[in-house]
Structure 1
Amino acid sequence: MTGNDVREKFLKYFEGKGHTIVASSSLVPHDDPTLLFTNAGMNQFKDVFLGLDKRQYSRATTSQKCVRAGGKHNDLETVGRTARHHTFFEMLGNFSFGDYFKKDAITYAWEFLTVVLGLPEEKLYPTIYKDDDEAAELWQEVAGVPAEKIVRLGEKDNFWTMGDTGPCGPCSEIIYDRGEEFKCSEPECFIGRCDCDRWLEIWNLVFMQYNRDETGKMTPLPKPSIDTGMGLERITSVIQNAGSNYDTDLLKEIISAVEKLSGMNYSDDERGFPFRVIADHARACTFLISDGVLPANEGRGYVLRRILRRAVRFGKAMGIERPFLNELAAVVADLMGEAYPEVVEKHDYVKQVIRNEEERFHETLHDGMKIVNDILNKVKAAGGKQIEGQDAFILYDTYGFPLDLTEDIAGENGLAVDRAGFEKAMQEQRDRARSARQDAGMLAGQEIYAEIGQKMGATEFVGYDQTTARASVIALIVDREAVIEAGAGQKVEIILDKTPFYGESGGQVGDTGFITKVGAKIRVVDTKKAFNGLFIHIGEVEKGTFSFGDFVDAAIDEERRKRIARNHSTTHLLHKALKEVLGEHVNQAGSLVEPDRLRFDFTHFQAVSADELKKIEDRVNEMILANLGIETAVCSMEEARKTGATALFGEKYGDRVRVVTMGDYSMELCGGTHLRETAESGLFKVITESSIGSGLRRIEAVTGDGVINYISDKEALLGEISAVLKTTPHELARRAEGITRELKEKEKELEALQARLAKYESQSIIDRVREINGVNVLSAQVTVPDMDALRNMGDMLRDKMGSGVVVLGTVSEEKVNFVAMATKDVLDKGIHAGNIIREVAKAAGGGGGGRPDMAQAGGKNPAKVAEALEKAYEVIESQVG
């Protein structure tokens, strides 16, 4: 039975038990900045368990892709060293939302393992929470497990909590006995007494039956729920009688590909460690990039970069010198594409991102080794015995050098690494990252919205079809506190039972307008959408008083909404045009839709050429002028996928989705507001195209009257420039060409003049040569405009001297430059231009270096140039003394 078979049998079994098969959510959690990556099957149902979200089903089953690397759940450093740890893995799960409870959960688990998968009952041992007598009775009653085989453990092992407060409950783990041959050396080797490979946890059943408050008190939940998780890799290793997860068909093909790339054979001992790391990391990189994560220096992108570079480093250690990890993405797609079609659809894109990062890391490693050598030299020169932890962390953080690599290099040089200092620096960075995640979004004040939502329910949005609505006030918030009324002059957040105001989401800004009643008015300056469907109208009471329960009239700024819709609809056309012109690898990576402009971020690996931009612009305008009808429809996610609608990276979609179609040209999932026909956009004009990160580009553009204003501004600017250059706009290009020609001629004349001046100056200072222990030395300040001219004068003086050392300095526009040159015959006497210039520049507050025969540097203090040049004689005397 293959791993794919196990996954399919699991989902089909639970579907047969009334569960809805729910697709895996993205590895990038939506609306949860406290979580780095999706790391468990229950993540996508968190709001359901908390009572903040409702689904059309009360039973669900999933095969969830997960990543544990970075943050609290971080298995990165243990990957490859153990038989079970992974950065990427799949979690099979079945869930009950107030439907069935312990008895059915135990029944289903036992039946699936023993009947569907055929595992021998005698090899299965359930563990339970020490006080959970109900679970103990059920294991005996339902599964026929003898009491002596049921293992009671404490809170650490068998009690699950979502956090310090909230839903919690006992859990029951199912342990598989792999047999005597896997027994450890402990005399009492058994579950709960050791952690050896004999006793393998394969399934965890969480019985969510309590709510824990701030005091630690637990009260029974009115509707207990079930959350279970079983690692696909683990259960497959049991079914296939594999020694480790890496010996299953889920990973063996990737390891075989690494064998071919490296020319080395895999073994399941320590020698196979790099194979296992690369196989695991290839899966993690492929899936993370498919879900929209890109290598970066912070957050999720930083973790991806670490994983990717770690794999590359192990490849290099195995002798693979060329970029190779990108080739393994194809193996991953072949293995897992049926279950997760996104890795096939995004394959070319994933491969390009990985290759770009590999090439960048090869360059970084080369540069990093220079830094390592500088650190080693610094430590040795000071008589030290270890590399400081902060230095090791900089190597790790900036150059992607894992600590063990720095320790290996240090050991080869007879040095140690300050591990404690490294860990301290690492912890400080984790604390900063955790703080940033906790501060993100609206979470700081979410508690009040959660409370209102539980009492009053979500806001009904009627703004797709209406610009006004009669509504009632269900909450007023002033200074983050719910109030009964708000009066004139107060800044307020007002929540209605229904609203035509669009709440900021999906890149579209929130609506503005007015909320009124007789004798009272609120000017709404922004509208936000809370996590639980409440629409938060932010504004100020301009007159009168508003109270809880008031009936009010809500009216948006219609003209502003129309301009926003113009830009949003055009964004869809732009997305499609980018794919047509640049390729299907293009995907939306972010957007901002405002009344006056649109901003669109997308995946692409190089600057968009002027010709490509024109094609994109022309194609969008063509679709605008075609006056395509814009239609919206609500359907299931599965139906939307079948029609080919484009879903966006990282977006969270519910069971029912809104599809926006523009003729037969564009079809996207979108919750925003749109035009009725594309011609209402008027015109489209790209303002800028730029890079915003590795593999990410940004286009900013305008539509409608924004295009007219842009053209008017350009015409005015052309007029101003034409007036300055005393020509007409039509003759501007020819006039600019003429001025450019004149400037080049003047530059040539200036260079010739500077060369003559330099020759004259060199003749006037050549007689200042000193002899130091048989070496001719000239150190002088000269008047030249830049480093190029300084080097030219150095060449001239060195050639005139025939034998010796020339050290020159210059100050131009407060910028200090130095150069040192030596003829080849004096190098044997100990002369080193790089060392000379380093000391000279240091005396002027700068730094630099170079080769023995030629070096250059910069300084910061013009007043110290003469003193620094005099220093050259001392340095040279020490070299030849």
Structure 2
Amino acid sequence: MQYMTTAEIREAYLSYFEGKGCKRMPSSSLIPDDPSLLLTSAGMVQFKPYFLQQKHLDDAYIGTTTSQKCVRTNDIDLIGTDGRHLSFFEMLGNFSFGRYFKKEMCAWALDFSVNVLGLPKDKLYMTVFEDDDETWEIWRNLGVEESHLSRLGEDDNFWRAGPTGPCGPCSEIYYDQGPEVGCGRPDCHPGCDCDRFLEYWNCVFTQYDGQEDGSLKPLPHKNIDTGMGLERIAAIMQGVTSNFDTDILRGLVGVGESLSGKTYESGTEQDDAALRVIADHSRSATFMIADGILPSNEGRGYVLRRLLRRAIMKGQLLGIEGPFMHHYVDKIVEVMGDEYPEIVENRELILGVVGNEEERFGATLRQGRVYLEQALAGMKEGDVLSGDVAFTLHDTYGFPLEVTQEICADEGIAVDTDEFARCMEQQKERARAATQDDAEAAWSTYDGTMSGILEEVGATVFEGYDKNECAATVVALLKDGARVDALAAGEEGAIVLDRTPFYAEMGGQIGDTGTIEGEGFRARVTDTKSPEKGLTVHYVTVEEGSVTVGVAAHAAIEVLRRERIRRNHSATHILHWALRTVLGDHVKQAGSYVAPDRLRFDFAHFEAVTRAQLDEVERIANEKIMEAHPVATYETSLEEAREQGVTALFGEKYGDVVRVVDMDGFSRELCGGTHVRNTAEIGLVKIESEQSVGSNLRRIEAVTSFDALAYLNAEEAELRTLAAALGVRPLEAAGRAISDAEKLKQMESEAKRAKEAAAAGDFKKIAAEAVTTSAAGYPVVIARVDNVSASALRNAWDVVRSQCGDACACVLAGRNADKPLLLAAGTDAAVAAGFNAGAIIKAIAPAIQGGGGGKPTMAQAGGKNAAGIDDALAKAREILL
């Protein structure tokens, strides 16, 4: 067995199955097309339509083969505790959709393992489902000794998507790592919980359709779905027993060693676990961001944020000071960028996001320490901190349990780990309920109506790039989501044509509207969508006659509406270029909305855009518009587009052939939308607003052409109205308004000072009337002072104190804008003599239906019942005099 790098194993696998007739396919995005899945967690996810026979491979291929990037976080708290669990991993796979089956798969798996990888055959063990005699015999005929074969039950060797649906037996291939790695029991065998027999390849034979009564009905097409963990086979080929000792992950562990000064496997297990966690989580975060996921508090964004924060916390435990995640990103780009160019293209964005998250998390950690300190307040040595508190620190603030335990241990306080474990399990149950697990969910829900139409009638031919109208044939009709033969006048439904000029909502551009008419009918198209890639569906209201399947039709879009949409769509491309020019290459489009009357453009950026930057973006965008650059479109391969430096939109998924929109070289983006022929057609772009819409995410809203002119005219009208009111010319209005505002502010300040001076005189009179308590012998002022603020009441106390000496107190009340206010205050000497402002306020505040508090020297209260002010003062006299 020869040492092979991870990259060499990946290429060997893909080349082998490519040589057998499988089409090599790129890894799909970590954002799956399937809404039932949160993240892509298995190689078969992108091939679901093929397994269901809703899409078909070219006849030149017998199947597909991929190296799929995957993220799974079901066992996130186990990552780092051993050498097996990972959140990010690569799954090597080959898939057949009815064109080869068990015999070929088993033969190729054995051939690849022994003759390509060079694994000793006597080290290989296979398991089969207990009733699968066919696969048992196939392995025997391939020369596998019976002592190396074993049968396992349904839990281990039978794959199901759910109670019903596609299912079938599995055959797993194990590598014997030797008795020194295992549990030592003489009956140790594949399937044992120890690490001696390492499963590295699972072959699923999807040949049945599970029925509700538990019976298995043979599928018309038998499928192959295999998965080989790249990190696991790399560990075998590199002679190590841990994924973290393989070339890529060991290199990332090395980054942590350099930053922390720790040496892996030479210190504490806690340090080793921390090094493993950061190595793993940094890969997940890098690839998730590159595929369009940004940190947030829900969904995929929450998963990303949790991974990042867990890695950052582990770095702090290792003693790494300051931001450090960028070192990991650079290493990942270096060692994996050749296979996954998206992490190279998005490097600046990834660095910006992780750096911003490190900064934000620093503040969160400080808040967590405050939360923990509050929880510990009043506790003493020997007490036990609630496990619920520890879980909140873990889940909300990112504190690992061991960190909370360490901080508590310094105070001699234990942590209720049993309750913490219950909280963790409850969270996992909620997660399992919210999203189904791994690839199984990809089979669970599927509405086949639209896919069935696509399979039956084929893809819709789109002629809308060059035509506003065209002749067509009605090939399908729907009403309330079900297929029908006809739609009558007054009914709402959907029409599918064989060809269309209507653009279906996609890439942020909304769908076209218009008419579809033919002999004896007319339908108004209210929206156009593409529920299945390649299928255009026109949502209509039939205005006249009746439309039936098979009838000839004439389809025409609403031209002026489309023209406005085209201008706005092209403007988003120019704004994208301008933002990258002004703010930096890390800026990536993260979403858009292109309508006839406006456009919305979301982009990844890490701080607010200044007014000066926004003005510059608008200036250079309009400069390009007015330079009248021609706009061209062409199709090319995705690989060629990448080599040309064409911008791929953040988080977007592309096929092998892509369409490029080229604005005379200064802006080149992959885009399937409709655009102007020359930038001058846009006329003008005017930015209306810029704001934050999430962590690391900003939004611009803008208008173009006649809508931009209308916006500017409206602003000018407002300016003229203001200028007329101020009695100046429009261009002088701002200066006059600022000058008048400053004068008004000065006048208000002077009026306030005069009012406070007058009040101070009143306060002196009040102080002169101070009453001396009979008990303590110091003067106390109890008075009502209306039309003053809470701060003015405090000023009144200052006046009273200056007039009455070192030992005095007051209870003041007033009404300010119908709101009652109370203040009690006393000098230190008065407090020493028994005065307590907090107790006084607590006693009298109910009279005004209020509450408040403070220290013995000063306390305040507000309330709802101003009519109770006099009662409150009477209560104060009762207590103090």
Q: Taking structure 1 as the reference length, what is the TM-score of the superposition?
A: 0.88
Cα contact 1:486–1:546 (8 A) shared by 2: yes
Partner of 1:440: none
User: Quick one: which amino acid aligns to residue 152 of structure 2?
Assistant: L
Moved more, 160-169 or 529-538: 160-169
Cα contact 2:806–2:829 (8 A) shared by 1: no
Partner of 1:712: 713
Task: Report the Cα distance in structure 2 between the residues aligned to 1:851 and 1:256, rounded to whole angstroms.
Answer: 56
User: Quick one: which amino acid aligns to residue 228 of structure 2?
Assistant: M
Partner of 1:92: 92
Matches within 5 A, 1:765-784: 766=767, 767=770, 783=786
Deviation, structure 1 residue 791: 5.3
Task: Report the Cα distance in structure 2 between the residues aligned to 1:837 and 1:324, rounded to whole angstroms.
Answer: 52
Q: Give secondary structure in 1 for the equivalent of 2:226.
A: strand
Matches within 5 A, 1:848-867: none
User: Quick one: which amino acid aligns to residue 250 of structure 1?
Assistant: I
User: Quick one: which amino acid aligns to residue 3 of structure 1?
Assistant: T
Task: Report the Cα distance in structure 2 between the residues aligned to 1:489 and 1:468, rounded to whole angstroms.
Answer: 24
Matches within 5 A, 1:526-545: 526-545=527-546
Cα contact 1:91–1:232 (8 A) shared by 2: yes
Deviation, structure 1 residue 425: 6.3
Deviation, structure 1 residue 609: 1.9
Deviation, structure 1 residue 79: 0.6
| Residues 847/535 of structure 1: CA separation in 2 closer, same or farther (3 Å cut) | farther
Matches within 5 A, 1:497-576: 497-576=498-577
Matches within 5 A, 1:144-543: 144-184=143-183, 186=185, 188-192=187-191, 194-212=192-210, 217-267=215-265, 270-271=269-270, 272-377=272-377, 387=386, 389=388, 395-401=393-399, 413-414=413-414, 416=416, 418-419=419-420, 422=423, 426=427, 430=431, 433-434=434-435, 446-543=447-544
Q: Deviations over 1:458-480 (max 9, x none)?
A: 33322222222322323322223
The count of corresponding residues between Structure 1 and Structure 2 is: 861
Q: Give secondary structure in 2 for the equivalent of 1:322.
A: coil
Task: Report the Cα distance in structure 2 between the residues aligned to 1:167 and 1:638, rounded to whole angstroms.
Answer: 35
Cα contact 2:385–2:413 (8 A) shared by 1: no
| Residues 542/431 of structure 1: CA separation in 2 closer, same or farther (3 Å cut) | farther
Task: Report the Cα distance in structure 2 between the residues aligned to 1:292 and 1:839, rounded to whole angstroms.
Answer: 59
| Residues 47/728 of structure 1: CA separation in 2 closer, same or farther (3 Å cut) | same
Q: Deviations over 1:723-766 (max 9, x none)?
A: 33333312212211221221121122033124324424543555
Q: Give secondary structure in 1 for the equivalent of 2:39.
A: coil
Cα contact 1:460–1:497 (8 A) shared by 2: yes
Task: Report the Cα distance in structure 1 between the residues aligned to 2:108 and 2:373, rounded to whole angstroms.
Answer: 60
User: Quick one: which amino acid aligns to residue 365 of structure 2?
Assistant: L
Partner of 2:16: 13
User: Quick one: which amino acid aligns to residue 32 of structure 1?
Assistant: D
Deviation, structure 1 residue 869: 8.8
Task: Report the Cα distance in structure 2 between the residues aligned to 1:233 and 1:706, rounded to whole angstroms.
Answer: 55
Candidates 63, 66, 70, aligned match of 1:59: 63
1:37 lines up with 2:39 in the alignment: yes
Q: Give secondary structure in 2 for the equivalent of 1:197.
A: coil
Deviation, structure 1 residue 675: 1.7
Task: Report the Cα distance in structure 2 between the residues aligned to 1:113 and 1:876, rounded to whole angstroms.
Answer: 94
Partner of 1:726: 727
Aligned-residue CA RMSD in angstroms?
3.8
Deviation, structure 1 residue 828: 9.5
User: Quick one: which amino acid aligns to residue 257 of structure 1?
Assistant: V
Q: Give secondary structure in 2 for the equivalent of 1:334.
A: helix
Task: Report the Cα distance in structure 1 between the residues aligned to 2:824 and 2:315, rounded to whole angstroms.
Answer: 42
User: Quick one: which amino acid aligns to residue 233 of structure 1?
Assistant: E
Partner of 1:25: 28
| Residues 209/686 of structure 1: CA separation in 2 closer, same or farther (3 Å cut) | same
Task: Report the Cα distance in structure 2 between the residues aligned to 1:23 and 1:525, rounded to whole angstroms.
Answer: 37
| Residues 821/495 of structure 1: CA separation in 2 closer, same or farther (3 Å cut) | farther
1:3 lines up with 2:6 in the alignment: yes
Q: Give secondary structure in 1 for the equivalent of 2:94.
A: strand
5+ unaligned residues in a row in structure 1: which ranges?
A: 438-442
| Residues 678/145 of structure 1: CA separation in 2 closer, same or farther (3 Å cut) | same
Task: Report the Cα distance in structure 2 between the residues aligned to 1:779 and 1:273, rounded to whole angstroms.
Answer: 67
Matches within 5 A, 1:44-123: 44-56=46-58, 57-69=61-73, 74-123=74-123
Cα contact 1:624–1:683 (8 A) shared by 2: yes
Cα contact 2:773–2:880 (8 A) shared by 1: no
Cα contact 1:50–1:167 (8 A) shared by 2: no
Task: Report the Cα distance in structure 1 between the residues aligned to 2:251 and 2:446, rounded to whole angstroms.
Answer: 49
Q: Give secondary structure in 2 for the equivalent of 1:657.
A: strand
Partner of 2:441: none
Q: Deviations over 1:692-727 (max 9, x none)?
A: 111111111111111111111112111222233333
The structure with the larger Rg is 2
User: Quick one: which amino acid aligns to residue 86 of structure 1?
Assistant: L
5+ unaligned residues in a row in structure 2: which ranges?
A: 439-443
User: Quick one: which amino acid aligns to residue 118 of structure 2?
Assistant: G
Q: Deviations over 1:589-634 (max 9, x none)?
A: 0000000111100011122222222221222222222222222222
| Residues 807/178 of structure 1: CA separation in 2 closer, same or farther (3 Å cut) | farther
User: Quick one: which amino acid aligns to residue 534 of structure 2?
Assistant: G
Partner of 1:692: 693
Deviation, structure 1 residue 649: 1.9
Cα contact 1:833–1:852 (8 A) shared by 2: yes
Task: Report the Cα distance in structure 1 between the residues aligned to 2:617 and 2:423, rounded to whole angstroms.
Answer: 49
Task: Report the Cα distance in structure 2 between the residues aligned to 1:95 and 1:81, rounded to whole angstroms.
Answer: 33
| Residues 296/784 of structure 1: CA separation in 2 closer, same or farther (3 Å cut) | farther
User: Quick one: which amino acid aligns to residue 14 of structure 2?
Assistant: L
Task: Report the Cα distance in structure 2 between the residues aligned to 1:831 and 1:188, rounded to whole angstroms.
Answer: 82
Task: Report the Cα distance in structure 2 between the residues aligned to 1:251 and 1:402, rounded to whole angstroms.
Answer: 23
Identity across matched positions, percent: 48
User: Quick one: which amino acid aligns to residue 51 of structure 2?
Assistant: F
Cα contact 2:165–2:209 (8 A) shared by 1: yes
Task: Report the Cα distance in structure 2 between the residues aligned to 1:851 and 1:789, rounded to whole angstroms.
Answer: 19
Q: Give secondary structure in 2 for the equivalent of 1:698.
A: strand
Task: Report the Cα distance in structure 2 between the residues aligned to 1:388 and 1:121, rounded to whole angstroms.
Answer: 51
Deviation, structure 1 residue 151: 1.6
Task: Report the Cα distance in structure 2 between the residues aligned to 1:489 and 1:402, rounded to whole angstroms.
Answer: 62
Deviation, structure 1 residue 251: 1.6
User: Quick one: which amino acid aligns to residue 146 of structure 2?
Assistant: A
